Structure 1
């Protein structure tokens, strides 16, 4: 039997079907322990492999890329976001980077609506009451939340996920507003019945709910800083399923604790698993452990895209989902 063409190292446990197919196609080293690799383990992998398959939990910075072995020619990321990879440095070293765009769109948009409803309708409070055995019966003024129909939803980042959120929001009777690096084409904007704001500040002052759907880049780090958070109405709610670094988490916690914002639903955090303790203690905050893309279907599709990218590269072609710095 001919030897398998590429040495591939996978940094985390992937769905069994994905790992099995990789084993059939490549000389792959799988991860038995489903924990993030240490920096030393990542360095060893990058010095040994032709292809590295990392995830969002792996920081592939300039220092690691600079020490990568001469064999490493592709970083095939398992996930759409690549802010944990120094794409510019990889490019200067002749290392391609690919990702898995599109497959998490619908799942993440579903989670936006889930968090929006959980915060505005106080679902976690009701759940805690029932699970704790404290419910004494229905009351006219108990657990009063807010209606989302007719409210203004501001979408920060109108890419695939932002547009999927807009479609769902329209079905709930919400008015869609958005701020984006580039305005949508007129036909796309009309289909979503969306109002464009060139000024993020002006949009923030007017919306009832803000959904953060932009990537983390140097330009979006703390885009929602203390000054901008102060522009929002005290009755407003923030939902973030994108990247935690877009929001100044300390400033957000202060606004929520002071009652200057009505609530927040967060699936991502500025410092990864080190969640601001003030956010944990607030009853008007719903926190999830980065579950936005966590569906069986989505994970399998992500794995399929990784395999296609690696196989295409192995066949001597550019991966279909190659990432270049100009895209970021």
Structure 2
């Protein structure tokens, strides 16, 4: 008997190829699942594959799929999946950690340079015809700054390695010190912010980090401080960020993620000292395929009786 799999939004062709034997993929638009009343869904669904863009996988959705065994999330961050509800229902949740570290770290450095050296603004200046009539304003410099990494997981370490090449000093803030790294650990968040010039956030979303970068942290960075966020938009209190920018309390911000994507708050949209990207940290062809392969491997391994490859902590493998 073929296994019925619900695919939310789009998935990669490589996933369909890997699951071409023994599985039937049923596609549903995420917008339909976000409605108050769920659309008719095929009976006997035993697996969910999330796709792009992410859509909440709620307890309500799980409740109408009584045969559901596993939710294979597309991406390392899985805050769109109610993992606690899945755990209560005995449903396995998997994600794809580590796959996108290098791509996101590359993008973080690009966003950092774009923000500090004002590269998008310089391009706007050049193409608007002002080049030649007067000089583009001098930009700040990355040199001589101390970079602070909020989070030192796989992505944070990859960013740190790249920052070393710029000759900058590096601090990091985590709940516990990470062994075998040459960077300075600062356990107090406000002390951490006071001692750095650039804050790069690469922590996951969720209740534990919601609003972690608030007004006090931004004020501690100071008027020459720069904020870069490539983690989750919910980590930054955007209203506080707007207030601090309004009063000149922060030099600049570079954001690849927002709290309510794709909505850009009006207070951030047209600022000359803010660079916003449309959540493209891991959005390369090669990386999306790598994520899809790991996602499909979790499904194949699960239904072959070998268990998940990369379960989330809320739904651990039990012996």
Which category of TM-score, normalised to the shorter sequence, fits these structures? over 0.9
More helix by share: 1
Q: Which residue of 2 aligns with 1:148?
A: 142
Q: 2:84 aligns with which of 80, 83, 88?
A: 88
Residues 202, 230 of structure 2: 8 Å contact kept: yes
After superposition, the Cα gap between the structure-2 partners of 1:221 and 1:70, relative to the gap in structure 1 and judged at 3 Å, is: same
Residues 211, 237 of structure 2: 8 Å contact kept: yes
After superposition, the Cα gap between the structure-2 partners of 1:254 and 1:184, relative to the gap in structure 1 and judged at 3 Å, is: same
Q: Which residue of 2 aligns with 1:256?
A: 245
Give unpaired runs (5+ residues) of structure 1: none
1:310 paired with 2:299, answer yes
TM-score (norm 1): 0.90
Q: Which residue of 1 aligns with 2:209?
A: 220
Q: 2:270 aligns with which of 273, 281, 289?
A: 281
1:113 paired with 2:109, answer yes
Q: How many residues align?
A: 314
Q: Which residue of 1 aligns with 2:34?
A: 39
1:167 paired with 2:161, answer yes
Distance (Å, rounded) in 2 between the aligned partners of 1:266 and 1:212: 10
Q: 1:184 aligns with which of 178, 182, 188?
A: 178
Which stretch of structure 1 is more off in the superposition, 128-137 or 254-263?
128-137
Q: Which residue of 2 aligns with 1:104?
A: 100
After superposition, the Cα gap between the structure-2 partners of 1:157 and 1:45, relative to the gap in structure 1 and judged at 3 Å, is: farther
Q: Deviation digits for residues 206-258 of structure 1, max 9, x if unmatched?
A: 11110011111212110111222221110011000110111110110121122
TM-score (norm 2): 0.92
Distance (Å, rounded) in 2 between the aligned partners of 1:203 and 1:43: 48
Please state whether the residue corresponding to 2:19 is helix, strand or coil.
Answer: helix
Give unpaired runs (5+ residues) of structure 2: none
How large is the RMSD of aligned CA atoms in angstroms? 2.0
How far is the alpha carbon of 1:25 from its aligned partner? 4.8
Distance (Å, rounded) in 2 between the aligned partners of 1:158 and 1:43: 41
How far is the alpha carbon of 1:37 from its aligned partner? 4.1
Residues 43, 68 of structure 1: 8 Å contact kept: no
Q: Which residue of 2 aligns with 1:295?
A: 284
Which stretch of structure 1 is more off in the superposition, 228-237 or 115-124?
228-237
